[in-house]
């Protein structure tokens, strides 16, 4: 698994994904119809610097979001019936839930500090309400 952090905004993520799709190992596997796509997407939403930070972790299977962790809620929530068993299982693991709740500081705020000098100082894309969104895309090859 390869995890990439794209602090430059959605254009940087799109460019990287295009380059990855055109790379030989992925280009050879053009017919993916019998396969499935599993994606876990970590989104850090920053409001007024790191004054307020929200972490969203989305579990996507076959292009449909099944389970979501929202740091404002503090637990996994099933988005559809397929995600219900996963949400119940993950929520029953107290250590794992505490780790996910702490990820706002250990993952989001930490990465904000790492990339602040070359992302926050530049003008860039902002989401609704002026928040900066940092997207981590994980690709399983």
Quick check: is 97 in a domain? yes
Quick check: is 47 in a domain? yes
Quick check: is 30 in a domain? no
Measured between alpha carbons, how far is 97 from 65 in angstroms, rounded to an integer? 19
Q: DSSP string of 43-76?
A: EEEEETTTTEEEEEEEEEETTEEEEEEETTTTEE
CA 73 vs CA 14, 22, 70, 95: distances in Å: 29, 38, 5, 17
Quick check: is 27 in a domain? no
Q: Give per-residue pLDDT as tens, 62-117.
A: 889 999 999 999 999 999 999 999 999 999 999 999 999 999 999 998 888 777 76
Q: How many helices (H) and strands (E) does the chain have?
A: 5, 6
Of 47, 43, 25, 53, which Cα lies nearest the Cα of 109?
53
CATH number of 106's domain: 3.10.320.10
> According to the model, what pLDDT value does residue 46 have?
86
Quick check: is 85 in a domain? yes
Tell me the longest C-alpha to C-alpha distance in the chain: 46
Q: Give per-residue pLDDT as tens, 107-134.
A: 998 888 777 766 666 555 555 566 555 5
**What's the domain range around 46?**
2-21+36-139
pTM score, two decimals? 0.61
Q: Give per-residue pLDDT as tens, 10-54.
A: 666 666 666 666 666 544 555 555 677 889 999 998 888 888 999
């Amino acid at each position: 698994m390869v995890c990439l952090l794209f602090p430059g905004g959605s254009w940087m993520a799109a460019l990287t994904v295009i380059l990855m799709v055109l790379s030989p190992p992925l280009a050879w596997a053009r017919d993916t119809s019998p396969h499935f796509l599993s994606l876990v997407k970590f989104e850090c939403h920053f409001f007024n610097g790191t004054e307020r930070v929200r972490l969203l972790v989305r579990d996507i299977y076959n292009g449909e979001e099944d389970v979501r962790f929202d740091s404002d809620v503090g637990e996994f929530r099933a988005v559809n019936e397929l995600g219900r068993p996963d949400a119940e299982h993950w929520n029953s693991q107290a250590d794992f839930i505490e780790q996910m709740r702490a990820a706002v500081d250990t993952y989001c705020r930490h990465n904000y500090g790492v990339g602040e000098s070359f992302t926050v100082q530049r003008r860039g894309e902002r989401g609704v309400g002026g928040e900066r969104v940092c997207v981590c895309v994980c690709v399983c090859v």
